[in-house]
């Protein structure tokens, strides 16, 4: 793990640079993107949010059962249900991992990827929504390719390379090695998953459609528990200077 604070420091420094004392840029950096506002409206009702959360958890349990019992498995999740779970359960599930300055993650699923946003509160510096446009695909079983196309502070673009510099620096301080190489399409992270425990699940595909995400895979059915773990992460991006 790269540490709890790399993102806070990186985005905070970039926001100070991006604002540059210009009122318009500062105003723009504090405006939430349209997808984030829409996600908030969708789960505004506590009743609807709790119902969607329960349905998401039922789907997740059904997927776990399929992986344990079936040779092939698939499940589709809606962004409304994912956002409801993020609002209801994410703060409790990940309170020991996520920095206190980061809260309220929301996403919008598009046909070729997704947009992810979260609140970042830097006292006496800046408070607003940081968002990323991400594409993900399964290059081969249990091998994810994750591309970050863009990062924004509010409506203001933030240089992706500068954020990656923070990641590399923090990794180096913690004795981790991330190799960055030139890539024609921009930054791409390669994540290899390995299954732990029974079932030996294999992720074969991630499919995106408007508002929905579908995962597909296969297993060698057995009884018992399992989990996926990332065991190797390397990244390729434009050369960092």
Determine if residue 211 is left, alpha or beta; phi over 0 gives left, psi from -120 to 50 gives alpha, anything else beta: left
Report d(CA 86, CA 105) in Å as an integer: 6
Instruction: Show Cβ contacts of residue 191 under 8 Å, excluding neighbours closer than 6 positions.
Output: 143, 144, 145, 146, 230, 232, 233
Digit-coded pLDDT (tens) for 128-160: 888 889 888 898 888 888 888 888 888 777 776
b/e 108-123 (16+ beta carbons within 10 angstroms → b): bbbeebbbbbbbbebe
Q: What is the pLDDT of residue 227?
A: 54
Beta-ladder partners of 146: 136, 189
Determine if residue 224 is left, alpha or beta; phi over 0 gives left, psi from -120 to 50 gives alpha, anything else beta: left
Q: What is the pLDDT of residue 195?
A: 63
Q: What are phi and psi of 217, to 5 degrees?
A: -170, -170
- pLDDT reading at 241 higher than 60: no
């Amino acid at each position: 793990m790269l540490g709890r604070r790399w993102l806070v420091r990186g985005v905070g420094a970039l926001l100070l640079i991006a604002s540059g004392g210009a009122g318009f840029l500062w105003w723009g950096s504090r405006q939430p993107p349209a997808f984030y506002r829409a996600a908030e409206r969708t789960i505004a009702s506590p009743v609807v949010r709790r119902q969607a959360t329960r349905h998401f958890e039922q789907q997740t349990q059904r997927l776990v059962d399929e992986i344990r019992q079936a040779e092939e498995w698939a499940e589709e999740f809606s962004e409304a249900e994912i956002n409801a779970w993020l609002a209801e359960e994410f703060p409790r599930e990940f309170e020991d991992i996520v920095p206190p300055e980061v809260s309220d993650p929301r996403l919008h699923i598009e046909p070729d990827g997704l947009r992810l946003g979260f609140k970042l509160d830097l006292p006496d510096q800046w408070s607003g929504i940081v968002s990323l446009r991400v594409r993900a695909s399964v290059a081969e079983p249990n091998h994810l390719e994750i591309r970050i196309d863009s990062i924004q502070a509010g409506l203001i673009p933030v240089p992706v390379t500068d954020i990656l510099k923070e990641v590399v620096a923090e990794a180096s301080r913690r004795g981790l090695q991330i190799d960055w190489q030139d890539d024609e399409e921009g930054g791409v992270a390669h994540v290899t998953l390995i299954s732990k425990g029974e079932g030996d699940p294999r992720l074969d595909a991630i499919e995106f459609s408007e508002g929905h995400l579908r995962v597909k895979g296969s297993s060698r059915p057995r009884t018992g528990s399992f989990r996926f773990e990332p065991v190797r992460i390397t990244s390729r991006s434009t050369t960092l200077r």
